[in-house]
Each structure stands twice: as structure tokens, then as C-alpha cells.
Amino acid sequence: MTWQSSNLPSDHQPVKCGQVGVLIVNLGTPEAPTPSAVKTYLKEFLSDRRVVEIPPIAWQPILRGIILNTRPKKSAHAYSQIWSEEGSPLAVITKKQAEGMQQRLGEGVQVEWAMRYGKPAIADQLQKLMDDGCDRILLAPLYPQYSGATTATAVDKVADKLRDMRWQPALRTMPPYYDDPAYIDALSKDLNAQLDSLDFQPEVLLLSFHGMPQRTLELGDPYHCHCRKTARLLEAKMAGRNGPDGPLRFETSFQSRFGPAQWLEPATDDTLERLATEGVKNVAIAAPGFSADCLETLEELAIQGKEQFCEEGGENFAALSCLNTSTPGMDMLEQLIRRELSGWT
Ligand SMILES: C=CC1=C(C)c2cc3[nH]c(cc4nc(cc5[nH]c(cc1n2)c(C)c5CCC(=O)O)C(CCC(=O)O)=C4C)c(C)c3C=C
Ligand SMILES: [Fe+2]
Ligand SMILES: [Fe+2]
């Protein structure tokens, strides 16, 4: 039999090679703020065994019978309040981060972006990088704090794609950066600038991280410890900042509780209510664990959080932006990515 490259499946064909690729990954978001698009997204997201660690035989009937018949309508309404002309904020910002990084890294490196759930899919973007000749790929999950439900599942999805390839690229994964001085510096610069531009002086800066089931901490997931360390280092870095009558107070909480199980505490909604009932009138809230603004920051914190605080007697509330494409945020990302590319470029 004669060897003919045209008889081979496309991923076995000789490719251009020697290029370096970066794949920026974030969580994922629906295609539209409609119940049907949200249902498709939630079905994929909440079927991931890294996200819901209940055996499928018990979980799938609850997911398909109850959650996917009730939650999409409620969530679609929340998404419709934050949706922009360009699309879902999480996707719009992640795309801009990738475009900005492509500009900063120049032609020697190809930067693409993908979502763990929904589109653009990790498998498609990996294939695109390979088709363009990248045989060295840096996977950059934009989760500062490691969790099985975020970083690990992104790596799993990449592994699913590589499993079927005869000719795999070399792969590196950017480590979690929860305590990296570049990250703490970027957060402190960005939050200080945002606090300086407020028209009131907060007494408390609440650092709200996405929650996780308490059980994941007991099973050894480092997420909770990573969040606590980020908060401690950030507070130390921002020491010296004042509120209206003394040093600015820092508090940490966990948001987005889901389902009846025990989640990490204290919860953000309970903390906002407690602060208001204790007589705190001026609060700013930041979400250092989110690299891009999304439903959880723009709706849950900025809209619902403000209502919760003000209903209990709070007066001034500011939800600060995530690092997004701010100069401190992009400088940090460039530094973290260049470090991982060392020896490849
Ligand atoms: C069991 C449920 C969930 C776990 C565990 C969980 C972990 C987790 N999530 C993020 C980041 C984001 N989550 C977002 C939305 C979102 N999260 C859950 C549930 C769990 N998350 C749901 C059901 C949703 C969808 C919206 C809703 O119906 O409430 C988002 C925003 C996505 C967007 O489109 O804007 C982000 C980002 C982290 C970092 C994390 C664990 C550490
Ligand atoms: Fe979530
Ligand atoms: Fe939420």
C-alpha cells in the first residue's frame, strides 16, 4: 500500500510546526440571555462531575427533572440585566483579554481563548492552534485560586482532546496565581484607584469569592485556603488605607451558594446584611477571584448585593470592577504568561 497523506484524518496530516500557542480559558456562559440558551449551558456545566460531586444516578434526575425546568427562566432574567450589545460580559471581556495579550506578545506567539462550557469550545480552539502550526501550547486557566471545579476541569477537557491525537503538542499549564506578587500588586493598584474615584469613603472593603461546597475543603481541595491567602496578602498590601473614621476594614466572604448542602462561610449575602445591621453605612465590594466581570459580579453583587445592604440600613454601596482589561490586570497576565513561556520563545 502506498502512503498518501491525503488518506489520513486531518489531525494526522503533516502540519506547519514550531509555533507557540497560548490558550486562555474561562468558565463559560450562555449564548444568549434566554431560558433555552441558559438551559443548554447549565446542562453542560452542572453535568460536570467536577462541579457537582453527586453520583450521576442520583444527580441527573434532580438536574433534568427539577433544576433544568426551573432555574433557566430565573437565570435568563438575571443574564438579561447584564447582557451587553456585544454579548455576555464574561465572553466579551475574555475575548478582549486574549486580543490584548496577542498584541503584547507579538507575532511569535498565537493567542486564542476558549470556554470550558459552551463556545468557543476548548477542543476547537486547540485544533485551531495546532492547524496553525503550534506544537507547544500554554494553557492559561484564568482562575487565580485552584479548584477541582475550575482549573482541574479545564485541564480534563484539554486531556479529552489530546487523548484522540496521534501527534500531540507539548503542553504547559499556568499554575494558580493566588499568592503571586504580580497578582496581589495588580489587585491592590486597581482597587486603590477605584476606591480613590468613589464619591464616598467605605468603612469596609468586602472581598467576595465564589463559594464551593464545604465538603470539597474537607476532601482536600485547596480553593478555600487559596482564597484566604489572597485576602490576607491583599489586606497586607493595602494596609494604610483609611475609611472615614480609622483604617479601612477588610472582610472576606463566599457568594453564589447553590443547593441545600453546606457551602463555605461566611456567605456574602449574610455578611452584607450583618454589616448593615451592625451600623456600617458605607461598603465597597470586590471579587478578586474573578478575572472578568460576569453574572456573579454584575448581577449578584452589584444589583442583589446592593439591595441586601441597603434594605438593612446601609447607605452607600460600590461594587468594584474585576481586573478585566485594566492596565494592572493586563500587565499581570503578561508577566505570568511570559514566565511560563520561558524556554519556548
Ligand atoms: C454546584 C454548583 C456550582 C459550583 C461548585 C460552582 C463553582 C464555581 N463557579 C465559578 C465561577 C463562575 N460561576 C458562574 C456561574 C454559575 N455558577 C453556578 C454554580 C456553581 N459554580 C451556576 C449555576 C452558575 C450560572 C448562573 C446561575 O444560574 O446562577 C460564573 C458566571 C458565568 C457567566 O455567564 O457570567 C462564574 C464566572 C468558580 C470560580 C467556581 C469555583 C471556585
Ligand atoms: Fe459558579
Ligand atoms: Fe449567582
Domain ranges of the chain: 16-177+329-340, 181-319
Q: Could you give the CA distance from residue 278 to residue 71 in angstroms, rounded to a whole number?
A: 33
Give the per-residue pLDDT at 17: 79
Q: Is 79 helix (H, G, I), strand (E, B) or coil?
A: helix
How far does residue 286's CA lie from ligand 2's centre (Å)? 16
Q: Model confidence over 69-106: pLDDT tens digits?
A: 999 999 999 999 999 999 999 999 999 999 999 999 99
Q: In what order do the strands lie in the sheet with 170-173?
A: 109-117, 19-28, 134-141, 170-173
Give the per-residue pLDDT at 8: 52
CATH architecture of 16-177+329-340: 3-Layer(aba) Sandwich (3.40)
CB under 5 Å of ion ligand 3: residues: 256, 296, 300
The answer to whether the CB of 71 is under 6 A from ligand 1 is yes
Flag whether pLDDT at 13 surpasses 70.
no
How far does residue 219's CA lie from ligand 3's centre (Å)? 24
CATH architecture of 181-319: 3-Layer(aba) Sandwich (3.40)
The answer to whether the CB of 52 is under 6 A from ligand 1 is yes
| Strand positions, DSSP E, the chain | 19-28, 109-117, 134-141, 170-173, 204-210, 242-243, 246-247, 249-255, 282-286, 316-319
Nearest CA to ligand 1 atom 17: 256
**Would the CATH topology of 16-177+329-340 be identical to that of 181-319?**
yes
Q: Model confidence over 15-47: pLDDT tens digits?
A: 567 899 999 999 999 999 999 999 999 999 999
Residue 300 in grid coordinates: 449578584
Distances (CA, A) of 160 to 29, 36, 122: 21, 27, 10
Flag whether pLDDT at 14 surpasses 70.
no
The answer to whether the CB of 27 is under 6 A from ligand 1 is yes
Asked if 125 and 23 touch (Cβ cutoff 8 Å), the reply is yes
| pTM for this model (two decimals) | 0.95
**HSE-CB of 260 using CA atoms within 13 angstroms:** 3
Q: Model confidence over 230-276: pLDDT tens digits?
A: 999 999 999 999 999 899 999 999 999 999 999 999 999 999 999 99
**Residue recorded with cell 488605607:** 241
Name the closest ligand to CA 51.
1
- pLDDT > 90 fraction of the chain, expressed in percent and rounded: 93
Average pLDDT, the chain: 95
Asked if 16 and 107 touch (Cβ cutoff 8 Å), the reply is no
